[in-house]
Amino acid sequence: MIHKDEVRRRIEDFAPGGGFVVASVHNIRPEVPPENIVAMIEAVKEYGVY
């Protein structure tokens, strides 16, 4: 399960200087719970503005 804190850390790691685009890979594996995708989107909305 993806945690919002993990998404926040990646944004903090990669965002300085601008240009970081958060996205899933081009294909989401069937075993990935939909809740993980929703959590990623919510985290980006919460932490993704810099």
Q: Tell me what pLDDT residue 6 has.
A: 86
- Asked whether 46 and 9 are in contact (CB, 8 A), the reply is no
Contacts of the segment 8-12: beta carbons below 8 A, 24+ positions apart: 8/43, 8/46, 8/47, 11/44, 11/47, 11/48, 11/50
pLDDT tens figures, 2-16: 688 888 888 888 888
Domain ranges of the chain: 4-47
What is this structure's pTM?
0.69
